[in-house]
A = this chain, B = another copy of it.
């Protein structure tokens, strides 16, 4: 599919069935639309929180920061698995879709609301189906949050299923 902004994010190329995530699915009308790309050997997701994404007035909500790290990490894992197989976003080969096995978030200091956030990730370890990603959230030149995620290829049991809600 065409890339809506000026760079190619991995989420732009997830199969339609896997593009509904509230955090990073391009097809979820109400979601955050996080987009994750390579920046050299690091992965990068940038996001501007909304005025009501607050914990305490003036500070970004921890749940949003955890969500950002979560989707940034599954996107980073997909980028890494795809590159290992010789591919970059925009290639014809199907893009892997990862889900989160575990998520750790350390809130190092309060995250002020206002400036855009940048999450920078590093691939720590890569197995056949599993990738460990470490990330930092930057705001105003400062690291405010650190995350570590183990992402795994979505198991067959997670094929999209009709909602019962």
Asked whether A70 is an interface residue with its Cβ less than 8 Å from the other chain, the reply is yes
Asked whether A128 is an interface residue with its Cβ less than 8 Å from the other chain, the reply is no
Asked whether A144 is an interface residue with its Cβ less than 8 Å from the other chain, the reply is no
Q: Closest CB-CB distance, A31 to chain B, in whole Å?
A: 7
Q: A157's contact among B66, B110, B154, B159, by CB below 8 Å, is which?
A: B110
Give per-residue flags for A14-49: 1 if the beta carbon is below 8 A from chain B beta carbons, else 0. 000110111101001111000000000000000001
Say yes or no: B23 contacts A63, CB within 8 Å. Answer: yes
**With A and B bound together, what is the CA distance between A154 and B56 in angstroms?**
9
Say yes or no: B165 contacts A113, CB within 8 Å. Answer: yes
Asked whether A129 is an interface residue with its Cβ less than 8 Å from the other chain, the reply is no
**Which of A1-9, A77-85, A87-95, A96-104 lines the interface with chain B?**
A96-104
Contacts of A20 in B (CB 8 A): 52, 54, 56-57
Q: A66's contact among B18, B51, B67, by CB below 8 Å, is which?
A: B67
5 A-B pairs with least C-beta separation: A63-B67, A58-B161, A114-B164, A57-B160, A66-B66
**With A and B bound together, what is the CA distance between A133 and B31 in angstroms?**
29
A92-142 contacts to B (CB < 8 Å):
97, 99-107, 110, 112-115
Say yes or no: A22 contacts B55, CB within 8 Å. Answer: yes
Q: A54's contact among B21, B51, B58, by CB below 8 Å, is which?
A: B21
